[in-house]
């Protein structure tokens, strides 16, 4: 995808070769733009200001506001639009080689339509020049683990009692109480 540009609006398209530089990258970007103008397009924006306006949607994935407040100010927030807002996510740096997808949420009425998957595909490409690995942590819920695995993540490790130690109330995903945080990782450069 496109790397940090002067525009606030980022439109996903074809992948840019890691060897492409300068004018080659701009040519690819222009070709992708032309192609997308002819097709139904998704629009992805990196949000720099007033990130809290997306709080209601972020709370679908992390239901305790003070936990979101720990990563939202310093994280990169992306919003995916297909006409109207469909999905958001927040990515934070962990170290020089790793970033973490801290939150990804899709409006309830648009879940299961591929918007979350498209956003993950976009951010994985966006960060592949900056990091080797992307982490994501989630509760031990089969459907969510399956979703991340289908997006190229593999189970990495577990943080015992994360949800019971860090949240002020019991957390549930459907009928399953969340206790341990399951971390998955994705190779961004492979």
Domain boundaries, the chain: 9-187
Q: Treating both helix axes as pointing N-terminal to C-terminal, what angle do 142-150 and 115-127 enclose, rounded to 10 degrees?
A: 50
- Specify the pLDDT at position 28: 54
- Specify the pLDDT at position 171: 86
Whether residue 91 contacts residue 100, with contact meaning beta carbons closer than 8 Å, is answered with yes
H-run or E-run covering 146:
helix 142-150
81 phi, psi to nearest 5 deg: -120, 140
- Specify the pLDDT at position 174: 84
The tokens describing 13, both together, are 């398209």
- Specify the pLDDT at position 52: 98
Mean pLDDT (the chain) is 85
Whether residue 55 contacts residue 89, with contact meaning beta carbons closer than 8 Å, is answered with no
Pick the CATH number of 9-187 from 3.40.630.30, 3.30.70.20, 3.40.50.800, 3.40.50.2300: 3.40.630.30
Question: What single DSSP character describes residue 175?
Answer: T
- Specify the pLDDT at position 120: 98
- Specify the pLDDT at position 124: 97
Which portions of the chain are predicted below pLDDT 70?
Answer: 1-40
Whether residue 122 contacts residue 147, with contact meaning beta carbons closer than 8 Å, is answered with no
- For the whole model, what pTM was predicted? 0.78
Task: Give the integer Cα–Cα distance in Å for 128 and 1.
Answer: 9
Whether residue 90 contacts residue 76, with contact meaning beta carbons closer than 8 Å, is answered with yes
């Amino acid at each position: 995808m496109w790397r940090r540009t002067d525009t606030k609006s980022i439109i996903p398209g074809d992948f840019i070769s890691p060897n492409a530089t300068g004018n080659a990258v701009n040519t690819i970007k222009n070709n992708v733009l032309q192609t997308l103008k002819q097709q139904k397009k998704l629009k992805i924006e990196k949000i720099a200001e007033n990130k809290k306006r997306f709080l209601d949607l972020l709370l679908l994935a992390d239901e305790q506001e003070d936990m979101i407040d720990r990563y939202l100010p310093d994280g990169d927030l992306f919003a995916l639009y297909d006409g109207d807002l469909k999905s958001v996510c927040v990515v934070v740096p962990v170290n020089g080689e790793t970033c973490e997808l801290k939150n990804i949420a899709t409006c309830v009425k648009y879940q299961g339509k591929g918007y979350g998957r498209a956003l993950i595909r976009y951010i994985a490409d966006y960060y592949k020049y900056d990091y080797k690995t992307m982490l994501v942590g989630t509760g031990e819920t089969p459907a969510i683990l399956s979703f991340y695995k289908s997006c190229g993540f593999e189970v990495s490790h577990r943080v015992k009692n994360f949800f019971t130690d860090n949240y002020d109330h019991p957390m549930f995903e459907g009928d399953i109480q969340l206790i341990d945080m399951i971390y998955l990782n994705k190779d961004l450069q492979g």
